[in-house]
Structure 1
Amino acid sequence: MNSAMRPAALLLALLLPPAALHAAEVNVAVAANFSAPMRKLAAAFEQASGHKATLAFGSTGRFYAQVKNGAPFQVLLAADDETPARLEKEGLAVPGSRFTYATGRLVLWSASPGVVDERGEVLRKPGAGKVAIADARLSPYGAAAIEVLKRLGLDQALHPRLVQGENISQAHQFVATGNAQMGFVALSQVIVDGRIEKGSAWHVPADLHSPIRQDAVVLAAGKDSPAAAALMAFLRSDAARAIIRAHGYEL
Structure 2
Amino acid sequence: MRGLSVAVVGIVAGLMLSSAATAAELRVLAGGAMTAVWASIKPKFEQTSGHKLDIFFGTTPNLIKEATSGKPFDVGIVPVEVMSDAAARSHFAAGATVDIARVGLGVAVRAGAPKPEISTPDALKAALLKAASVASIPESATGYSIAKVFERLGITEAMKAKMRAQPTPAQVVAMVANGQAELALFLMNVLTAPGLDVVGPFPAELQQDVVYTAAPSAGTKEAAAAKALIDYLKTPEAISVIKSKGMMPG
Which TM-score applies when normalising by structure 2? Answer: 0.82
In structure 2, what is the equivalent of residue 179 of structure 1? Answer: 180
- Give the residue type in structure 1 aligned to 2:72: P
In structure 2, what is the equivalent of residue 64 of structure 1? Answer: 64
- Contact 1:133 1:165 (8 Å CA) reproduced: yes
Give % identity.
23
In structure 1, what is the equivalent of residue 159 of structure 2? Answer: 158
Q: 1:31-42 alignment to 2 at 5 Å? A: 31-42=31-42
Q: 1:22-171 alignment to 2 at 5 Å? A: 22-79=22-79, 81-86=80-85, 90-96=89-95, 98-119=97-118, 121=123, 124=126, 128-135=131-138, 138-171=139-172
Measured at CA, do residues 44 and 90 of structure 1 come closer, stay the same or move farther in structure 2, by a change above 3 Å? closer
- Contact 1:116 1:202 (8 Å CA) reproduced: no
CA distance in 2, matches of 1:97, 1:122: 36
- Contact 1:76 1:219 (8 Å CA) reproduced: yes
Name the Cα RMSD after superposition: 3.0
Measured at CA, do residues 236 and 115 of structure 1 come closer, stay the same or move farther in structure 2, by a change above 3 Å? same
CA distance in 1, matches of 2:38, 2:84: 21
Secondary structure of 1:132's counterpart equals: strand
How many pairs were matched up?
Answer: 240
CA distance in 2, matches of 1:90, 1:200: 35
CA distance in 1, matches of 2:37, 2:211: 16
Unaligned runs of 5+ in 2: 1-5
Measured at CA, do residues 132 and 57 of structure 1 come closer, stay the same or move farther in structure 2, by a change above 3 Å? same
Shift of 1:240: 0.6
Per-residue CA deviations over 1:86-108 (Å, capped at 9, x if unaligned) read: 45885311112611101121111
Shift of 1:129: 2.4
Unaligned runs of 5+ in 1: 1-5
Measured at CA, do residues 87 and 18 of structure 1 come closer, stay the same or move farther in structure 2, by a change above 3 Å? farther
- Contact 1:134 1:170 (8 Å CA) reproduced: no
- Contact 2:192 2:198 (8 Å CA) reproduced: no
- Contact 2:118 2:203 (8 Å CA) reproduced: no
- Give the residue type in structure 1 aligned to 2:185: F
Secondary structure of 1:208's counterpart equals: coil
In structure 2, what is the equivalent of residue 3 of structure 1? Answer: none
Per-residue CA deviations over 1:6-57 (Å, capped at 9, x if unaligned) read: 9998375267597556221101111111110011111110111111111121
Secondary structure of 1:220's counterpart equals: coil
CA distance in 1, matches of 2:113, 2:125: 13
- Contact 1:134 1:171 (8 Å CA) reproduced: yes
